[in-house]
Amino acid sequence: MPLVIFTLILLAWTLVACLSAYSNHAQMKQNFHALARERGQSLFDLMEVTREWNARHGGIYAPVSSQNQPNPFLDVPKRDLKADGLDLTMVNPAYMTRQISEIANSRGGIAFHITSRKPIRPANAPDEWESMALKAFETDRTPFLEQTGTGADAQFRFMAPLIVKESCLNCHAAQAYKLGDVRGGISVTMPAASTLAAIERETMRMLVQHAAAYIVISGLMVLLYLRAQAHIQTLDETARIQEDLVRKRTQELLEANAALGRSNSELEQFAYAVSHDLQEPLRMVASYVQLLGRRYQSKLDEDADAFIGYASDGAKRMQQMITDLLDFSRVQTKSDPFQPVAMDKTLDLALGNLDLVLKETQSSIEADRASLPVVYGDKGQLSRLFQNLIGNAVKYRDPSRAPHISIKAARQEGFWTITVEDNGIGIEPQHFERIFRVFQRLHGRGTYEGNGIGLAICKKIVERHGGRIWVDSKPGQGTRFHFTLPVLPEGKARETNKSAKP
């Protein structure tokens, strides 16, 4: 992996880690705020329940004391009473709220403040924050929570609206409030320093955890990257060694091939020379054996006559074999230069040479001439190829039916496949390979004429042209010989269009 990509991945990971830390911190803050909101709401609810209890009684009476002076803002008929010589004064919900707030405030923790936009008691007038909340309650009655101040002065300020209920109207109907109106609100102020400190502590712990995870994972990534790089280097090195090896082996193979080619052609030259030079002494042996036969026929004993006959026959066969071998060698040694050759014309040549036998055997030929290509090769040899295959198709005919031979070609990628099919006696699959070898025959001389050289020559011709030959057959039904020839290269094709001759 290139360094740039790895750096990008590392950057992406850093971004993910930072985002995670940030969202954790935000979530934590949100949780603490939700807790503060719940706490404020509970305290507010408790206060409201107490006030409702008081309002349901239409206010309660408590002895007048220094902390419970008659409320000058309470304008009701029986605000002050005397009972058993004890001075009592009415404590309505608002006065009670104020008194509870004072107790709470004096303890220096949570503070309550009952307030309204139209306060009866001026001290109940809202501060700036409360005014903002009261104004907001006119359209949306959702309770408010906000953190104000910092450090030791930090506070959570909660405020919820006071809604006019039936029991409130006793005192507040005169202010033209109706049932369900927002009459004011109670703000609950809670110290937030300890909560903020907790948030800070948690944030710190979370940051430490993130940093540790970041360092460990980043370290692992770097480690993995370095190991991968080392691995890639080893692979590259191995690939290079293998490439060198392949190059070396290819070179060796090419050299071996060239050597093989050289020795092959030497061998062919040798075979040609030997078979050519053998002809002369063999001709001498054959003629003298024939002379012996003619001169001493019936003059010696019967065995001598038979022996002379065998010797003469053997010499003749050997002469034929040498001729065939020479023929086989000549495919390589005595060939015409390659040129563009129209295969339908070579077929016609072959059919012309076989004319007599085709007529005698009433053979029918079905050639798809349009499919036959123009190839690059030796015209004489390619015509011989057709001649051998068609000749065999006639020779190995089924006695029960007239030979029918079809010839066609098809293109497959860079090669033409030409097929010669007959309806003859067929060949057993186990002989498919063998029949292409020199002097290999499946029948005795008495059954079918021949020396087993025809298909070997076909194979040699096809291979010389860069193709291959094979057979498939169903014994008793017929045989198909297929051979391939390379498709004519572009340049040669143009040449052919101008000058292709039969």
Shortest gap between Cβ of 483 and ligand ADP (angstroms)?
A: 13
Name residues contacting ligand ADP, limited to 391-420 (CB under 6 A).
392-393, 396
CB of 327 or CB of 495, closer to ligand ADP: 327
Question: How far is residue 97's CA from residue 358's CA, in Å, rounded to a whole number?
Answer: 132
Figure out which of the listed residues 28, 451, 468, 492 binds ligand ADP, where binding follows CB under 6 A. Answer: 451
Name residue 179's beta-bridge partners: none
Shortest gap between Cβ of 271 and ligand ADP (angstroms)?
A: 18
Stretch that binds ligand ADP, among 12-20, 37-45, 349-357, 423-431 (CB under 6 A): 423-431
Q: Among candidates 92, 120, 97, which has minimal Cα distance to 176?
A: 120
Question: How far is residue 130's CA from residue 119's CA, in Å, rounded to a whole number?
Answer: 13
Residue 382: exposure state from Cβ atoms within 10 A (0-12, 13-18, ≥19): buried
Shortest gap between Cβ of 319 and ligand ADP (angstroms)?
A: 16
CB of 453 or CB of 461, closer to ligand ADP: 453
Question: How far is residue 186's CA from residue 162's CA, in Å, rounded to a whole number?
Answer: 7
Q: 407 with 416: CB under 8 angstroms?
A: no
Figure out which of the listed residues 119, 143, 191, 450 binds ligand ADP, where binding follows CB under 6 A. Answer: 450
CB of 161 or CB of 424, closer to ligand ADP: 424
Give the amino acid at 169: L
Per CB under 6 A, does 386 bind ligand ADP?
no
**Sequence-ordered alpha helix ranges (H) in 433-500:** 454-464, 490-499
State the helix-helix crossing angle for 302-333 and 454-464, rounded to 10 degrees.
10
**Helix, coil or strand: residue 489:** coil
Output the six-digit token pair for 297: 């026929």
Q: Among candidates 325, 329, 320, which has minimal Cα distance to 286?
A: 320
* Count of residues that bind ligand ADP according to CB under 6 A: 20
Per CB under 6 A, does 435 bind ligand ADP?
yes
CB of 118 or CB of 445, closer to ligand ADP: 445
Per CB under 6 A, does 365 bind ligand ADP?
no
Figure out which of the listed residues 196, 341, 342, 455 binds ligand ADP, where binding follows CB under 6 A. Answer: 455
Per CB under 6 A, does 135 bind ligand ADP?
no
* Strand blocks (E) in 137-251: 144-148, 155-163, 182-191
Per CB under 6 A, does 324 bind ligand ADP?
no
Per CB under 6 A, does 249 bind ligand ADP?
no
Shortest gap between Cβ of 502 and ligand ADP (angstroms)?
A: 26
Residue with tokens 């052609």: 265
Q: Are strands 404-412 and 364-367 parallel, antiparallel or unpaired?
A: parallel
Shortest gap between Cβ of 420 and ligand ADP (angstroms)?
A: 8
**Helix, coil or strand: residue 97:** helix
CB of 431 or CB of 492, closer to ligand ADP: 431
Question: How far is residue 25's CA from residue 255's CA, in Å, rounded to a whole number?
Answer: 75
Maximum distance among all Cα pairs of the chain, rounded to whole angstroms: 189
Stretch that binds ligand ADP, among 106-114, 281-289, 389-397, 408-416 (CB under 6 A): 389-397
Question: How far is residue 200's CA from residue 213's CA, in Å, rounded to a whole number?
Answer: 20
Q: 351 with 365: CB under 8 angstroms?
A: yes
Shortest gap between Cβ of 348 and ligand ADP (angstroms)?
A: 20
Shortest gap between Cβ of 418 and ligand ADP (angstroms)?
A: 15
Give the amino acid at 198: A
Per CB under 6 A, does 390 bind ligand ADP?
no
Question: How far is residue 338's CA from residue 441's CA, in Å, rounded to a whole number?
Answer: 31
Per CB under 6 A, does 422 bind ligand ADP?
yes
Figure out which of the listed residues 28, 442, 493, 500 binds ligand ADP, where binding follows CB under 6 A. Answer: 442
Per CB under 6 A, does 424 bind ligand ADP?
yes
Name residue 411's beta-bridge partners: 416
Output the six-digit token pair for 200: 């800070």
Stretch that binds ligand ADP, among 105-113, 233-241, 341-349, 451-459 (CB under 6 A): 451-459
Q: 322 with 274: CB under 8 angstroms?
A: no
Sign of CA pseudo-dihedral 127, 128, 130, 136: positive
CB of 301 or CB of 360, closer to ligand ADP: 360
CB of 79 or CB of 316, closer to ligand ADP: 316
Shortest gap between Cβ of 392 and ligand ADP (angstroms)?
A: 3
Give the amino acid at 114: I
Q: Tell me the residue number closest to ligand ADP, measured at CB.
A: 450
Figure out which of the listed residues 116, 479, 484, 496 binds ligand ADP, where binding follows CB under 6 A. Answer: 479
Per CB under 6 A, does 443 bind ligand ADP?
yes
Q: Are strands 86-91 and 80-83 parallel, antiparallel or unpaired?
A: antiparallel
Provide the binding-site residues for ligand ADP, judged by CB under 6 A.
392-393, 396, 422, 424-427, 435, 441-443, 450-456, 479
